[in-house]
Structure 1
Amino acid sequence: MFFILPQQVSCVIEKLNLKNLQEIRLRAEKPVAVLYNFKTYFLSGDGLTQNETKSITVSQNQVENSFFTACQHSVHSFSQQISNGFIMPCGGLRIGICGCAVYKDEKIISIKNISSLNIRLPHQVKNCSKKYCQFLLNPVKNVLIISPPGRGKTTFLRDLIYQTSFLDKKPNVLVADERNEISGCIDGVAQYDLGNFADVIVMAKKDFAFKKGIRTMMPDILACDEICNEDFDWLYDISKNGTRLFCTIHGKNSDDIKTNSLFFKISKVFNRYVFLYNGTDGEACVYDENFKRLNL
């Protein structure tokens, strides 16, 4: 990751505990901001600060150079990812992109004049889901993991997949890893430990896994990240056919989910809800299908 960053930024980042670093945001002609222990700070020459006047500022040229470096100076090879607003230069590392969209035939084909980068650092926190497994895996439930953005949904999902390897009946898990954030695959090898019974489809739309993967891999569990409205018909049919589901969705709390326009569909599919409030280091709250809290 360090080779992507402007030198004055990487020199400071190297001194931080990377286990606590969630995001680095580079904005043209603005202070560098980081999400550290789920709190926002500016970056200064001495480390972290909340004083804007002491912060490191990067130029538009530096932001764009970081983008080109992340693309290995071959923007064309990342064109499909760029059209979706992000790139993934190495296993699990995702960089969101802002700039001027370039259209062709009414489709975005690239982004130029890069103005902002959001570098999101994935983490494997083994056993972060373990103490909740009694509510989720005994027996295996249809689990929906819920939190605001950047609060550990994917990390919790990754570990829940890993924990299934320790069940008496070893379930096969099909991972629909649309953005390569769950597995961090490089050359066909997952960089994050998903246990011994996970099969991963990387960088394909989720509906490909729903249509083809279920039929060909015959999983006991389907895992996928950040579900949306168009996924629910598939998920309902898959669950009715006996395959269990581990999924994530954005949300603040149980009231937020219950007032979500998708709640009716959600309630037809899932029977366990995990809410993460302070990342995977904080307490999670588990609710049953009636939104009764199960853990104290």
Structure 2
Amino acid sequence: MKEILRLFPPSFQKVLLEQVDWRRVQEIRLRVDRPIEMISSSGYSVIESLSMTADHLSYVLNQISQFSLYRFKDELKEGFITIEGGHRVGLAGKANTQEDKVETLKHISFMNIRVARSTRGQVSSLLPYLYDDMGWRSVLIIGPPHSGKTTLLRELACVIGAAAGSYSPSKVAIVDERSEIAASLRGVPQLDVGTRTDVMDACPKADGMMMMIRSMSPDVLIVDEIGGERDALAVQEAVYTGVKVICSLHGNGVESVSRRPSVSQLMHDQVFERYITLERLRAGSVITWKVYNHLGQVLGEGEGGRMDGVDRRRHHFNRYNTGRI
């Protein structure tokens, strides 16, 4: 966890090493004039001896941005910065807007460091629903925040690109607009996304999907968190070119997302052959999923392994852990 510890003032680092169970911590929340809050698989706690002043938070922000916050102006618009190791730092404060659009953040007074680590879930039980004699299917993964959507996408990229069991390997492309799936640093993925996966980092999804289809000729295209109409049209266009698309979407079930105009058209046109719904993970919980066909009929449901954090492994992929999330 050296990537996280180095963010804090030296006087904080010794206390954090001694008092934090780094095997289980999921989030570290920093707030001006309040003690540090730790969220783990067993619940939450505060470190009363470490209260964040404005100067302390400024120190952390300088470490995150390497004393050049302007270089991260695009990330600030999104409200987070991804750091080395795949850890994501959420930011909140005062938003500067122009024409009803966020231009940047200033007076940053709140941070949420989402800790990245390996998990123990299983994707292998899902694979029979996502593959047939014709190859991989197009899939929409639906779930609320912190339900494992991005973890599932990352592990599917590994499995789809590998010769795992009876599943033939395929070329995989990831469009990683928010640097969450691969967490690339200077173009190189910091997280394990498989040996046959190409990544377009920090590129708008709609543009990136078309660019990857033209330049990298993928069999399967993976995208995180599709949003508005442009994203939906790009997904539809990609599928019509013969590429399978696996993407995710915030939501609480198939019925709830079907009411969104951009998604409802994709569902009406049966662009996706499978839907996977995930439930929000809570302290000590396990991944629970359901799989639906293109008509919304339940095909199966199950559970994965216990998740103590977000999967951010780098270069640990091999045949032994194929299918682990």
TM range (shorter): 0.7 to 0.9
CA contact (8 A) 2:177 2:202 kept: yes
Distance apart, 1:183 and its partner CA: 1.0
Q: Distance in 2 between matches of 1:202 and 1:159?
A: 18
Matching of residue 156 in structure 1 with residue 152 in structure 2:
yes
- Map Cα deviations across residues 198-245 of structure 1 (whole Å, 9 max, x no partner): 000111111221232211111111101110122001111111121001
Partner of 1:143: 139
* 1:103–1:249 CA distance, 2 compared to 1 (3 A): closer
Partner of 1:52: none
* 1:76–1:278 CA distance, 2 compared to 1 (3 A): closer
Partner of 1:248: 248
3-state secondary structure, aligned to 1:264? helix
Q: Distance in 2 between matches of 1:259 and 1:12?
A: 45
Gaps of 5+ in 2: 302-325
RMSD: 2.7
Q: 1:275 aligns with which of 273, 277, 281?
A: 277
Identify the structure with bigger relative contact order (alpha carbons < 8 Å, sequence gap 6+).
Answer: 2
Question: Aligned AA for 1:295?
Answer: G
Matches within 5 A, 1:212-231: 212-229=211-228, 230-231=230-231
Deviates more, 1:23-32 or 1:224-233: 23-32
Gaps of 5+ in 1: 46-54
Matches within 5 A, 1:172-251: 172-229=171-228, 230-251=230-251
Q: 2:77 aligns with which of 80, 83, 93?
A: 83
Q: Distance in 1 between matches of 2:290 and 2:14?
A: 36
- Map Cα deviations across residues 116-146 of structure 1 (whole Å, 9 max, x no partner): 1121223344763121111113341111112
Q: Distance in 1 between matches of 2:54 and 2:110?
A: 8
Q: 1:62 aligns with which of 42, 56, 69?
A: 56
TM-score, structure 2 normalization: 0.78
TM-score, structure 1 normalization: 0.85
The aligned length equals 286
Question: Aligned AA for 2:114?
Answer: R
Partner of 2:163: 166
Aligned sequence identity (%): 28
3-state secondary structure, aligned to 1:282? strand
CA contact (8 A) 1:128 1:159 kept: no
CA contact (8 A) 1:175 1:200 kept: yes
